[in-house]
């Protein structure tokens, strides 16, 4: 088994958490449901079957989960084709790390959105494995999506690195037994108690070097 690095997508490579939430809120309100202010945090890390069921059962959208997911994804696809919300330094970070490590992508986004991201950026060849949490049993904070990516990469979790931005993402990667480098989401910053479990915290993807990922940079210290 080998070492690998696995990126999250939303909040790490795409500035998209708020875009997802706007699309979900629009659908809830259009369908006569009840949007809640805590809904974005409640849904972070959920797989598409999980958040679609949440919109139906908790927020009152009178559609079946498949229809809910399809409508939200359709809105996202249109937004992304108009303007993909790439985080500054994302393509460069992927290129930089792909030169030294096999890369995986472990995302809560639907498969269609992952594939659209890879198409629009041209980064598909950089990733050896990409996986949506809808393709495993449980979404984050369960470790399923990370463990399956690492299994397909034939990588050792204890030797591998996850790059995450959110509470549930950090929990998922740590539960998988990985080293975690956090890039905190400025729109939905992780709870400090959860962030403290990350092995390193960087301010932006520009700081994500191979040495920093591996914990060999002198600046890389666990947060206090």
Instruction: Tally the domains of the chain.
Output: 2
Q: Report the relative pairing of strands 5-7 and 127-132 from DSSP bridges.
A: unpaired
**22 and 118 together in one domain:** no
**46 and 132 together in one domain:** no
Instruction: Out of 43, 66, 82, pick the residue that ends a domain.
Output: 82
Q: Is residue 54 part of a domain?
A: yes
Q: What is the CATH classification number for the domain harbouring 33?
A: 1.10.150
Instruction: Out of 82, 97, 116, pick the residue that ends a domain.
Output: 82
Instruction: Out of 47, 66, 82, pick the residue that ends a domain.
Output: 82
Q: Is residue 223 part of a domain?
A: no
Identify how many contiguous H helices and E strands the chain contains and give both numbers: 10, 6
pLDDT tens, per residue, the chain with 224 residues: 799 999 999 999 999 988 999 999 999 999 999 999 999 988 987 888 999 999 999 999 999 999 999 999 999 999 999 999 999 999 999 999 999 999 999 999 999 999 999 999 999 999 999 999 999 999 999 999 999 999 999 999 999 999 999 999 999 999 999 999 999 988 888 999 999 999 999 999 999 999 999 998 645 444 44
pTM of the predicted structure, to 2 decimals? 0.88
Q: What is the CATH classification number for the domain harbouring 9?
A: 3.40.50.1000
- The residue range of the domain holding 43 is 17-82
Q: Report the relative pairing of strands 161-164 and 179-182 from DSSP bridges.
A: parallel
Q: Is residue 222 part of a domain?
A: no
What per-residue confidence (pLDDT) applies to 117?
97
C-alpha span between 122 and 142 (Å, rounded): 30
């Amino acid at each position: 088994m080998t070492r690998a690095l696995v990126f999250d997508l939303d909040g790490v490579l795409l500035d998209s958490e708020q875009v997802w939430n706007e699309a979900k809120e629009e659908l809830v309100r259009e369908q006569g449901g009840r949007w809640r202010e805590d809904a974005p945090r409640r849904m972070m890390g959920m797989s598409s079957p999980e958040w679609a069921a949440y919109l139906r059962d908790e927020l009152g959208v009178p559609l079946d989960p498949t229809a809910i997911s399809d409508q939200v994804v359709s809105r996202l696809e249109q937004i992304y084709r108009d303007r993909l919300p790439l985080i500054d330094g994302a393509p460069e970070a992927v290129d930089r790390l792909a030169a030294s490590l096999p890369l995986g992508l472990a995302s809560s986004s639907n498969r269609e959105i992952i594939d659209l991201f890879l198409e629009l950026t041209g980064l598909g060849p950089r990733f050896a494995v990409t996986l949506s949490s809808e393709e495993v049993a449980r979404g984050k904070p369960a470790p399923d999506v990370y463990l399956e990516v690492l299994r397909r990469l034939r990588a050792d979790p204890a030797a591998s690195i996850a790059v995450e931005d959110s509470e549930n993402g950090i929990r998922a990667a740590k539960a998988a037994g990985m080293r975690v480098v956090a890039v905190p989401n400025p729109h939905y910053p992780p709870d400090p108690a959860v962030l403290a479990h990350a092995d390193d915290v960087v301010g932006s993807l520009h700081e994500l070097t191979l040495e920093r990922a591996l914990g060999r940079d002198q600046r890389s210290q666990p947060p206090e």
